[in-house]
Structure 1
Amino acid sequence: MSQTSKVLRESHNQTQPTPFLDRFDEIVARTPDKLAIVDLVAGSVHQLTYRELSALADRIATHLIQVGIAQGEAVAYQLPSGWAFIALTLGIWRAGAVACPLLPSLREREVRFILESSGSQLFVIPDEFRNYRYLDMAESVVDSLSQHITIFVLEEVSDNPQTTTLGGLLADKPDYEALALRRPGQEATAQLLYTSGTTGEPKGVLHTFGTLSYALASHTRTLELTAEDTVWVPSPLAHQTGFLYGMMVSQYLGATGVYHAIWSVDTAKKAIEEYGARFVQAAMPFLADITRSENPPLGLRIFVATGAAIPRQLAGDARQSLKCAVVGAWGSTECCLVTVGRPDDAPEKLWGTDGRVIDGMAIRVVNDDGNVLPPGVEGNFQVKTPAMFSTYLHHHEWVQEALAEDGFFDTGDLAVIDADGYLHITGRKKDVINRGGEKVPATEIEDVLYRHPAVLDIAIAAMPDERLGERACAFVVVKEAAHKPNLADLCTFLEAEGVAKIYWPERVEYLNELPRTASGKIQKFVLRKQIEEKLRSGAQQAQGAL
C-alpha cells in the first residue's frame, strides 16, 4: 500500500455512522407510508412513499443483475431530476454496482469521455428532455467507443411511477436472495462523479458508502436537520449538491424530498408553500431568483448557498424576503461539504464568508512550502475530512500530488481563514470559471475554439456576474479584421463540436494580442481586470443616462 493510500484509508477509518442503505431500510420499516418523493413535473405531480420507492429499487436491482451488471461495475445514466433518477440510483446500489450519473446538459464530447473512462456497459437515457432527443447522440457516441455498451431508453420517464414498467427496467419481482449477496459494505464504491477538467480532462471522483455516510451524518447533525425538514431539491441530481445534499440527505433523514427537473420560480414557490419544503442547499442563482421574485415564497427554515460566498446585499434581502436563515458553505465533489455557516452566527460572519469548519473535519491555509499561515493571511486552502473521496479513477497520481503527508488535501483554492475561524475563498490556482456552482473548464473550451477558422488566439476568463457569480468571456484575436466571429458564431461552433451549452462563453471581446508573461503564459488576471472595469464603467454610464 502506498503512503498516500494509507493516509486516505486512515482518514476514512474514523468512527462511521450507520451505513446509508441500512439507515434507508430502517426508515422504510419504520415509516413505510411516508412520502419519500414529490416530483413536480409539467402538468402533474408524481409521488412515492418509502415503501413504494424501496419496492421499485429492488425490482430495478434484480433486473440489473439479470442483465449481467457485475458487482462494483459503473452504471452510467443521464436522466433529469425526478423519481426515475432516484429509484434507479437506489437500484444500482442494491445491485452492488456504482452510480455514475451524467448531467442532462452534457453532449457528445463529454458523454463520450465519461462512458469510455468509466467502463460502463449500460447507459440509461430518456427518450427526450427539454426538446432534445438523446438516442441519436447516444448511438453516435457508443459507436465510437472500444467497449460494448447497451443503451437503455426510458420512454416512460415522466409516467406515473405506480403504473409504469419503466421501459422494461423493472424485473417482474425482486430476487431477495440475489440482492442479499450483492449488499455493499462501507468500503464499497458508491459513486463516480466527473468534475470539469482543469488538467486536460475531467476527473472521475470515487466515493465509498462510508465517505458519503459520514458526510450526511456530519451535515445533518451540524444544521440540526430532522425528518420534519422536507428537503427541496432544485439542483440537478447528477451534481453532488443535488445528489448528496438533496436526494441522499432527504433519505438519510427519512424526510420528504421535493424535486423538479426544470427550474422556475413558480415551481419553487409550489415546492415551498404547497409541499412544505423547509431545507434547501443550492447555488446562489436559485437564492437570487426566489428572493427577487414578485412574491417571494415563505416557509423555508434554512437555505445553504454554495458555489461562492453570499454577497451581503443578497443575503440581507433574502433573509428579509424569505424569512429564513441564509448561510454560506464550501465543499467540493472530492471533499463533500467541509465548512458551513450556522443559523445563529452573527450576520457579519454569516454573509460574505464560506462558514466555519464542520465538527470532525479540519481546514488550514499554507504557503507554497507547506507551512501553516496565521489568521488573515492568504494561502493555499487545504482540508482534512473522513468524507474525503477514495481516489481519481485511473489517476491516483493526481491524489498523490494534492495530498500532504499528514492527510491534508490541497483544494486548488486560495483562501483566508480569519481569527474566528471563518473561511474566505479568495480565488483559484487553476483556471476554472465558477458559473453559479458549475465549473467551466476554460482550457478545454479554448482548445476547441482554437480550431475555429477565424480565430488566431483565444483565452477564456471569468467576468463578474451579479446572479451567477461568474460567467465566461472569450477574448479573441482574429486572423483577419474583416472576419470577426461574433458570440453566436463561437457558440454555433462549440455546439457542432458537441460542447455542452453550460460551457459556452457569454460575451466576446476582441484584442490585438493576448497579455502574456515573458515565458508565454497568458495573464488571465489582466483579462479579468479588464472586463471587470469595462462592465463597471458600462454600469456607471447606464446609471448616468438614467
Structure 2
Amino acid sequence: MEFDAVLLAPRRARMIEQGFWHDRTINDELDACVAACPDKRALTAYRTETGEVKRFSYRELAQMADRVAVGLYRLGVRKNDIVACQLPNWWQFTLTYLACSRIGAVINPLMHIFRERELGFMLKHGQAKLLITPKVFRGFDFEQMAGSLQHSIPELQQLVIVDGDGADSFEALLSGPEWEKAPDAAEILSANRPGPDDITQLIYTSGTTGEPKGVMHSANTTMANIIPYARRLHLDAETVVLMASPMAHQTGFMYGLMMPIMLKASAVLQDVWEPKKAIEVIRTEGASFTMASTPFLTDLTRTVAENATPVPTLKTFLCAGAPIPSALVEQARAVLGTKIVSAWGMTENGAVTTTRLEDDDERAFTTDGLPLPGVEVKVVDIDGKTLPPGEAGSLMLRACSNFGGYLRRPHLNGTDADDWLDTGDLARIDAQGYIRITGRSKDVIIRGGENIPVVEIENLLYRHPAVLQAAIVSYPDERMGERACAAVVLKPGQSLDLAGLVEYFKSNKMAMQYIPERLEILEAMPATPSGKIQKFKLRELLQQQLASA
C-alpha cells in the first residue's frame, strides 16, 4: 500500500523542535516494559459469552506479539500492508496491533457492528491483504460474511478466524505455533520494524461525503496525544485502565490499547458492555480509570445504586461522545465517588480538549474542556475571522496529534497552509479558554458515542420504492444522547411503517446501530425556496411532538 499522508512531513521539524513528537513507536514502549517490569500484569481480557479470562504479563505480551508477527509474515504480510481487524475487545485485537507494529504492517480496526455494506467499502478502499474476524459473536456469523466478501475483493488474500475450527483459525495460523523460535524469526522482527513517521493505523470515520474516510496515523501523531492526555489526568504506572469502549474506535484504541503500555500500566478489557459485569470487573481488577460515552456512565451509576455495590477504586471516568447532563454528573459523583471528566475529540486527533481533575464538577457539564498541550483552538466566523470569547462559530484546531491525511482523499483533508483543521463543528470559547460544542456542521448524528453516517442512510432510503423525499435528523435521548429519526414524504398511494423501514435497512445489510429508531410521515418537507430541506425545522417539529407525547 502506498500512503499519501501528506500532512506529516511539512510539520515534522517543528513538532520535533517543540518537543511534541518523541520519535518512538509502540515497539519501543513495549520493549521498555519488558526491560523494566517483565512480570507485571499487562493485559486482562474478559470474554462475556464464554466466561474466559485471559491474562498476560509484559514478558508474555511481548513474546506473543513476536509470535503473531512472524505468523503474519508467514502469511505474506509485509511492511505497509493493511491488516484489517474486526474484533470485539478480545486479547487477539491487542496482539494483532502489537504484531503488526513488529513487522511494519498497518492495522485497520473495524467496528464489529459493521456488516457487508460498510465492511465491503472499507476493505476495498483500504486494499486489506488480511482480515481477522470472529467465527461468531453475539449470534452473528462473521466467518460467513467474511467469506462472502472475500470473493469480491481481489486484494483480500487471507482470512483468519478467531475461535475458528479449521486451518484458517487464529490459533492454527498465528498464536499456536511457536513462530518466535523459528531460525529466521529474529531477522524478520529486526528487519521490518517501522519508523515513528510510518503509518501505523488506518481507521475509518464517517463524514458528510456519504463515504467513510480512511484516517492515517503514525506513532508520532498518536503518542503526541496520549502523553499530554495521561499527564493531565494524572495517570501513571499504577493506573488500571478498564476499557469497555470498542478498541475499533480511537477511544478504545488509543487509551485502552496503546496508553497502558506507554505508562507501563495494566489494561482490562470488557468485550460486551454489561454494567453488572463491569462492576464485578472493576472490583476484581481494581480498575481506577475508564473512558466511555454517556450511556456507559448512566448505566454504571444506576446499577451501582440499585445493587449497593460500590466501586471505590474507580477514581476517574472520562466521558465523551455526547454532552453530559448535569444531574448525571451529580448523581455519579455521589454514587460512584468518581471524578467525572468531560472531553471532546476526533478520530483525526484523539482527544482534543478535556476538563481537569482540579476543575469544579460544574465544568464537566457546562464545557467540553481545555485544549491539551500541543493543541490550539479558535472559533471563526463565515469569513474566517477569529471571534471573541463567548461567540459561536466554526471550530478550528491546530494540533501535534493531527492525522496524516485521508487515504486517497487528500482533497478532503481540510487543513490549510498554516495547519489549521476545520473540524466541521460549531463551538464557543469562554474567557478561560474552555470550549463548548454548540452544534455540528457535519451532517452526522452521534448515538451513544457512535457516529451515524446520515448521507449514506439517506441515499439508501431514497431508493426505497415508497419514498419520494427523505431526511434523517436527530432527536434527544436521555441515555444515548441522540437517536435517529427518518422523516419521509411518500409517493402517492404508498405506505410505510417503522417495522417495514427497519426490515428494508436490514435487507440492505445496514448496521443495526445506524438504522433510524423513529419514523415520521410528512405531507411535505420544510424547504428553502431553492428546495433544500430545512433540517432545523424538522428537528423543531420532532421536539414538539416529543414534548406533547
TM-score interval for Structure 1 and Structure 2 normalised by the shorter chain? over 0.9
Does 2:464 match 1:452? yes
1:312 corresponds to which letter in structure 2?
A: S
Moved over 3 A (4+): 1-14
1:138 corresponds to which letter in structure 2?
A: A
Determine if contact 1:349/1:355 at 8 Å carries over to the other structure.
Answer: yes
Determine if contact 2:6/2:405 at 8 Å carries over to the other structure.
Answer: no
Shift of 1:388: 0.7
Mapping 1:359-438, distance limit 5 Å = 359-399=373-413, 402-438=414-450
- CA displacement 1:49-104 (0-9 Å, x = unmatched): 11111111101111111221120111111111111111111111111100101111
1:516 corresponds to which letter in structure 2?
A: A
Equivalent in 507, 511, 517 of residue 518 of structure 2: 507
Instruction: Tell me, in whole angstroms, the C-alpha distance in 2 between the residues paired with 1:2 and 1:126.
Output: 31
2:250 corresponds to which letter in structure 1?
A: Q
Q: In structure 1, what is the equivalent of residue 255 of structure 2?
A: 245
Shift of 1:112: 0.6
Determine if contact 1:306/1:329 at 8 Å carries over to the other structure.
Answer: yes
Instruction: Tell me, in whole angstroms, the C-alpha distance in 2 between the residues paired with 1:442 and 1:311.
Output: 25
Determine if contact 2:202/2:215 at 8 Å carries over to the other structure.
Answer: yes
Q: In structure 2, what is the equivalent of residue 544 of structure 1?
A: none
1:393 corresponds to which letter in structure 2?
A: L
Shift of 1:165: 6.6
Shift of 1:4: 6.2
Q: In structure 1, what is the equivalent of residue 325 of structure 2?
A: 311
Determine if contact 1:282/1:305 at 8 Å carries over to the other structure.
Answer: yes
Mapping 1:217-228, distance limit 5 Å = 217-228=227-238
Instruction: Tell me, in whole angstroms, the C-alpha distance in 1 between the residues paired with 2:179 and 2:129.
Output: 24
Query: Against the structure 1 CA distance between its residues 3 and 286, is the aligned structure 2 distance closer, same or farther, given a 3 Å change threshold?
Result: closer
Name the SS of the counterpart of 1:514 in structure 2: coil
1:535 corresponds to which letter in structure 2?
A: L
Instruction: Tell me, in whole angstroms, the C-alpha distance in 1 between the residues paired with 2:482 and 2:79.
Output: 41
Instruction: Tell me, in whole angstroms, the C-alpha distance in 1 between the residues paired with 2:500 and 2:40.
Output: 51
Mapping 1:60-99, distance limit 5 Å = 60-99=68-107
Q: In structure 2, what is the equivalent of residue 543 of structure 1?
A: none
- List gaps (5 residues or longer) in structure 1: 158-163, 539-546
- List gaps (5 residues or longer) in structure 2: none
- CA displacement 1:283-319 (0-9 Å, x = unmatched): 1110011112213641211111001231111111111
2:473 corresponds to which letter in structure 1?
A: A
Q: In structure 2, what is the equivalent of residue 282 of structure 1?
A: 292
Taking only aligned residues, the RMSD between alpha carbons, in angstroms, comes to 1.9
Name the SS of the counterpart of 1:412 in structure 2: strand
Instruction: Tell me, in whole angstroms, the C-alpha distance in 2 between the residues paired with 1:204 and 1:135.
Output: 24
- CA displacement 1:146-193 (0-9 Å, x = unmatched): 434322222259xxxxxx972322353311221111111111111000
Q: In structure 2, what is the equivalent of residue 193 of structure 1?
A: 203
Equivalent in 472, 475, 484 of residue 484 of structure 2: 472
- CA displacement 1:9-67 (0-9 Å, x = unmatched): 45644422343321221112211111111111132322111111111110111111122
Instruction: Tell me, in whole angstroms, the C-alpha distance in 1 between the residues paired with 2:76 and 2:290.
Output: 37
Query: Against the structure 1 CA distance between its residues 276 and 532, is the aligned structure 2 distance closer, same or farther, given a 3 Å change threshold?
Result: same
Query: Against the structure 1 CA distance between its residues 11 and 535, is the aligned structure 2 distance closer, same or farther, given a 3 Å change threshold?
Result: farther
Query: Against the structure 1 CA distance between its residues 431 and 459, is the aligned structure 2 distance closer, same or farther, given a 3 Å change threshold?
Result: same
Query: Against the structure 1 CA distance between its residues 366 and 197, is the aligned structure 2 distance closer, same or farther, given a 3 Å change threshold?
Result: closer
Q: In structure 2, what is the equivalent of residue 30 of structure 1?
A: 36
Q: In structure 2, what is the equivalent of residue 214 of structure 1?
A: 224
Using the size of structure 1 for normalisation, the TM-score is: 0.93
The alignment covers a number of residue pairs equal to 529
- CA displacement 1:183-208 (0-9 Å, x = unmatched): 11111111000012321210100000
Instruction: Tell me, in whole angstroms, the C-alpha distance in 2 between the residues paired with 1:3 and 1:230.
Output: 36
Comparing 302-311 with 10-19, which one deviates more in the overlay? Answer: 10-19
Determine if contact 1:475/1:510 at 8 Å carries over to the other structure.
Answer: yes
Shift of 1:215: 1.1
Instruction: Tell me, in whole angstroms, the C-alpha distance in 2 between the residues paired with 1:8 and 1:474.
Output: 43
Determine if contact 1:327/1:342 at 8 Å carries over to the other structure.
Answer: yes
Instruction: Tell me, in whole angstroms, the C-alpha distance in 2 between the residues paired with 1:524 and 1:471.
Output: 15
Determine if contact 1:153/1:167 at 8 Å carries over to the other structure.
Answer: no
Instruction: Tell me, in whole angstroms, the C-alpha distance in 2 between the residues paired with 1:148 and 1:420.
Output: 51
Instruction: Tell me, in whole angstroms, the C-alpha distance in 2 between the residues paired with 1:487 and 1:350.
Output: 36
Comparing 108-117 with 145-154, which one deviates more in the overlay? Answer: 145-154
Q: In structure 2, what is the equivalent of residue 184 of structure 1?
A: 194
Q: In structure 1, what is the equivalent of residue 474 of structure 2?
A: 462
Shift of 1:361: 1.4
Query: Against the structure 1 CA distance between its residues 213 and 508, is the aligned structure 2 distance closer, same or farther, given a 3 Å change threshold?
Result: same
1:423 corresponds to which letter in structure 2?
A: I
Query: Against the structure 1 CA distance between its residues 385 and 30, is the aligned structure 2 distance closer, same or farther, given a 3 Å change threshold?
Result: same
Shift of 1:327: 0.9
- CA displacement 1:313-350 (0-9 Å, x = unmatched): 11111111110110100110001111101111023323
- CA displacement 1:238-280 (0-9 Å, x = unmatched): 1111111111111111111111111101111012111111001
Instruction: Tell me, in whole angstroms, the C-alpha distance in 1 between the residues paired with 2:52 and 2:151.
Output: 37
Equivalent in 120, 127, 131 of residue 119 of structure 1: 127
Equivalent in 169, 173, 177 of residue 168 of structure 1: 173
Determine if contact 2:340/2:361 at 8 Å carries over to the other structure.
Answer: no
Name the SS of the counterpart of 2:271 in structure 1: coil
Instruction: Tell me, in whole angstroms, the C-alpha distance in 2 between the residues paired with 1:266 and 1:147.
Output: 43
Instruction: Tell me, in whole angstroms, the C-alpha distance in 1 between the residues paired with 2:403 and 2:209.
Output: 19
Comparing 15-24 with 431-440, which one deviates more in the overlay? Answer: 15-24
Q: In structure 2, what is the equivalent of residue 230 of structure 1?
A: 240
Q: In structure 1, what is the equivalent of residue 531 of structure 2?
A: 520
Determine if contact 1:197/1:444 at 8 Å carries over to the other structure.
Answer: no
2:42 corresponds to which letter in structure 1?
A: A
